[in-house]
Structure 1
Amino acid sequence: MKDITESRARLAGIFNITVTPFAADGSIDTAGLARSMERVIGLGYDGILIGGTYGEFPAMTAEERAGLFRTVMDVVGDRVPVMLCSAGSDARTVRELTQLAGDLGGLPMVTPPYVSEVTDGQIVAFFKDMAPLSKTGILVYNAPGIGITLQPDVIEELADIEGVVGIKQGDLSVTPIDKIANRLGGRIKLFCASDLAFLGPMMAGFDGISSTNSCALPELILATYRALEAGDARTARELHRLWYPFRALARTHGQPQMVKAAMNLRGFDGGKVRPPLRDLEGTALDEVAAMMTALAAHPPTKVMLAA
């Protein structure tokens, strides 16, 4: 993407949160990552998200993240829009990665600075500092998992910052979703941050979702989203119900550990996680294998997951 106007135009649909496959020695498996991205693009996803919370960015150095950005953009080019997570607790790192992401043609995704006792005013000032650094604008990521949850009033204030093209909303509580959809719809692009419960936000008027679990179940989750996009809420609901057992295990074992395990079982390039996360093994891995076998044998998904 070349500028903010193009970012706004292309920021919609289902984006695959492509996990970062690590090798046994801890290095990034760039060949495996490239294969994953090619698979996602070939299946028809609208975009890709790289190096987010489920891409394990906190376990990478700033240099590794910059190298990851360059590798990804070399592979993807301009075929689909790419969100590049430039979040961090050190504003200097966020600045460098945000500018790099925009220069490469990606859309930087920035969380609030996760430091102790930061105020709403300081958060707004932080985003005002970051937005001008990227020629493609920035995507604000409201990520409760980092310990900070942006409230709708603050998000509305951020939406007025020049260069903020959208928000990826991780707080999927009903009231915030309702407020954001109705106050900000049409002003900035609205993305649901989780595929675990995206039907509600999309029905409320969100522009798209980002999906980690679709690294392991791309066919099923893509079909679910496309049905909803086409206005077929009944089919979307029925398809979403089919992979509830997968979501239940993901909530139990955590992402991306669960997703990588399922990917590896399918012969995809899930790779390993980095400490402090641990790869699933023993009983946990057996549970995932049994669930995947049962899902693949279910009549509606048997053909869908046969590839």
Structure 2
Amino acid sequence: MKDFSECHARLRGLFNITVTPFRADGAFDHEGLARNVERAIGLGFNGVLIGGTYGEFPAMSTDERANMFRRVMDVVGDRAPVMLCSAGSDTRVVRELTALAGDLGGLPMVTPPFVSEVTDEQIVAFFRDIAPLSRTGVLVYNAPGVGITLSPAVLEQLAEIPNIVGVKQGDLSPTAIDRIANRLGGRIRLFCASDLAFLGPMMAGFDGVSSTNSCALPELILAAYRALEAGDAATARDLHRLWYPFRALAREFGQPQVAKAAMTLRGFDGGSVRPPLRDLDAAQVERVAAVLRDLSADPRSGVRLAG
């Protein structure tokens, strides 16, 4: 993407949050990441998100993240929009990675600075400083998981900042979704940050969804999203219900861990997680395998197991 206008026009649909496959010794598996990106594009995802919270960016060095941005953009080219997470607790790192992401033609995704006792005013000032650094715009990531939840009122202030292209909304409470959809819809792009419960935000008028678990269940989650996109809410609901047992395990064990274990079971490049996360143990993997077997037995899911 060459500029803000093109980025805004293409920023919609289902984005695959591509997990970062690490080897058992912690080394970066760049080839595996490239294969995962190619799979997502080949299956028809509207875009990919690289190095986000479920991509384990806090466990990477700045140099690793920058190298990952360059490698992924070399793989993707202009075939699909790419969100590149440039978040961090050190503003110097955020500035460096945000500028790089925009220069490469990706869309930098930035969380509020996760430092203690930061105020709403300081958060707004932070985004005013960061937004001009990227020629493609900046995507605000409202990520409660990092300890800061931006209120709808603060998001409305951020929407007024030039070069803010959208928000990826992690607070999925109905009141917040209702206000954001009706006060910000049409002004900036609105993305639901979780595939665990995306039907509500999409029905409210959001522009898209980012999905970690689609790394493990791409056929099923794509089918549910496309049904909703086509106006077939009943089919979308029924398909979403199919993978509730998988969602329950993701909530219990952690999404990147469960997604990676399921990917490996399916013959994809799941790889390992990096500390402080831990890979699933044998008993946990078997519970994931049992859910996959049940899904593969239902022809509606489209899920097929390796071998």
Tell me which interval the TM-score lies in, with the shorter structure as reference length: over 0.9
Match of 1:114 in 2: 114
Does the alignment pair 1:267 with 2:267?
yes
Identity of aligned residues (%): 75
Match of 1:181 in 2: 181
CA contact (8 A) 2:257 2:278 kept: yes
Count of aligned pairs between the two proteins: 306
What SS is found at the alignment partner of 2:195? coil
AA at the equivalent of 1:305: R
Match of 2:104 in 1: 104
Match of 1:165 in 2: 165
Does the alignment pair 1:202 with 2:202?
yes
* Structure 1 residue ranges (4+ consecutive) displaced by more than 6 angstroms after TM superposition: none
AA at the equivalent of 1:158: L
Normalised TM-score (structure 1): 0.98
CA contact (8 A) 1:219 1:305 kept: no
What SS is found at the alignment partner of 1:49? strand
CA contact (8 A) 1:89 1:114 kept: yes
Match of 1:215 in 2: 215
Distance 2:58 2:21 in 1: 14
> 1:263-287 deviations in whole A, cap 9, x for unaligned?
0000000000000000001211111
What SS is found at the alignment partner of 1:223? helix
Normalised TM-score (structure 2): 0.98
AA at the equivalent of 1:46: N
> 1:103-151 deviations in whole A, cap 9, x for unaligned?
0000000000000000000000000000000000100000000000000
Distance 2:191 2:246 in 1: 22
Shift of residue 90, structure 1, vs aligned partner: 0.3
What SS is found at the alignment partner of 1:290? helix
Unaligned runs of 5+ in 2: none
Does the alignment pair 1:242 with 2:224?
no
AA at the equivalent of 1:292: L
Distance 1:142 1:54 in 2: 14
Compute the RMSD of aligned alpha carbons: 0.9
CA contact (8 A) 1:217 1:305 kept: no
Q: Which moved more, 1:159-168 or 1:290-299?
A: 290-299
Shift of residue 28, structure 1, vs aligned partner: 1.0
Shift of residue 305, structure 1, vs aligned partner: 3.2
Does the alignment pair 1:145 with 2:145?
yes
Distance 1:232 1:270 in 2: 32
Shift of residue 24, structure 1, vs aligned partner: 1.9
What SS is found at the alignment partner of 1:196? helix
Distance 1:287 1:306 in 2: 15
> 1:140-171 deviations in whole A, cap 9, x for unaligned?
00000000000000000000000000000000
Match of 1:19 in 2: 19
Q: How does 1:276-291 map to 2 (within 5 A)?
A: 276-291=276-291
CA contact (8 A) 2:195 2:212 kept: yes
Match of 1:305 in 2: 304
What SS is found at the alignment partner of 1:121? helix
